[in-house]
Structure 1
């Protein structure tokens, strides 16, 4: 599996974070809409190869945030700006962990580069359970970082008429820590797939 294709699925979360980081609560609803559009674009892009669990999650989560931000007034938009990133990451983490127990979400990406005859291999399923669990933990850890940032350095606050969207705590917890976590997940995915690039060979070695 190419981990880069999996990272592409996180693009809606990145789009939402970038917009909210730059403009705070004033564009929280628009940021959520932009994330939905991005997720839909990914669904269209991957339509012929099957709709991804992550893309559907993005549409539902950010669609909900858009409704909250537009219909709930200033307070709701401020909540979306401050805690939307953390909540979205937490929901995605739960979906990823749940998929690991049923149908690992990473299989949808792995099947794009693994021959079909290996898709039902026990090794293929086992490796993807681990990858999906790793990313679930990564997203939950990222959620904690985002939520702490929302509390310590709220993007929705206003100081002297200026949106406070770029404080040091926000920069560290919304970008540096998440980037480090994503990098760790990326490297873990590479390590897990490196030893099982050929599921048949891996199964033979174990047997």
Structure 2
């Protein structure tokens, strides 16, 4: 298939189909994103705990099966991540049913770290075999003629590396909690840092395609209707996440009242400051970059 042409406003490797209205459209968009394949892992993390490994494994396995069935009924292609979910959580569910109490106790302590390592291995493995797992999701919202374009492929390699990084942060944080602190449910290592790594990967997945497409258009002289975005957009989630940390810390009593309120204030103020900084840098880019595009 030829590379992306340069003489048409529609010749962009990240062209998406029109929006799908209503709740059905939101559900479809969710199923067409890597977050769908991540949902069983999130469910496992939320449900698991002392004496609840069986329930957690069964719930995650049921959700992974539901996603695969839903994908088939929608006529979409099966995703590697969703099939991996079924295989992994099917194994965990089988162990929960047939393993000895001693094995179950071991899994309750180390199961979280096992899932983190499994996700790192899966994401990195998909890169090594030259099939980054985000490709299958990106193809659901991209015209087929762009699937082999160098830009489309490069975007998905970069995004998959971001997920490798997010999973690795969770794995390292979990290892510190399990091995160093001997506390798998530690507020910081078991939850805040791990969730933060995942949220970053999700934010990067949303941000990078338009960002990379725009800058490629400027560099190569392609016409584009993408708006320039500063890197601040990639971290828009941080102040809100800080705010959520303060609230969660107060509710779980992991933070003192003074510290929790202070964190909440920092997050709330940060949201406003970040919006102002983002708008200012976007305006600056809009004033400078388009001129470069016209000269290209």
Q: TM-score, normalised by structure 1?
A: 0.80
| Alignment partner of 1:82 is 2:109 | yes
Distance 2:88 2:205 in 1: 25
Q: Is the 8 A contact 1:17 1:85 kept in 2?
A: yes
1:49 to 51, 63, 76: 76
Change (3 A) 1:104 1:202: farther
RMSD: 2.7
Equivalent position of 2:290 in the other structure: none
Change (3 A) 1:82 1:65: same
Distance 1:56 1:118 in 2: 25
Q: How do 1:165-204 residues align onto structure 2 when only pairs under 5 Å count?
A: 170-197=186-213, 201=217, 204=220
Distance 1:119 1:199 in 2: 19
1:33 to 55, 58, 78: 58
Q: Determine helix, strand or coil for the equivalent of 2:52.
A: helix
Structure 1 segments (4+ residues) deviating >6 Å: none
**Using CA pairs below 8 Å that are at least 6 residues apart, which structure has the higher relative contact order?**
1
2:154 to 118, 123, 126: 126
Distance 1:199 1:50 in 2: 30
Ranges in structure 2 where 5+ consecutive residues have no aligned partner: 1-13, 17-28, 223-295
Distance 1:124 1:50 in 2: 19
Equivalent position of 1:99 in the other structure: 126
Q: TM-score, normalised by structure 2?
A: 0.58
Distance 2:80 2:204 in 1: 21
Q: Determine helix, strand or coil for the equivalent of 1:103.
A: coil
Larger of the two Rg values belongs to structure: 2
Shift, 1:197, TM fit? 4.8
Distance 1:44 1:197 in 2: 33
Distance 1:90 1:205 in 2: 42
Q: Is the 8 A contact 2:165 2:197 kept in 1?
A: no
Aligned residue pairs total 191
Q: Is the 8 A contact 2:169 2:193 kept in 1?
A: no
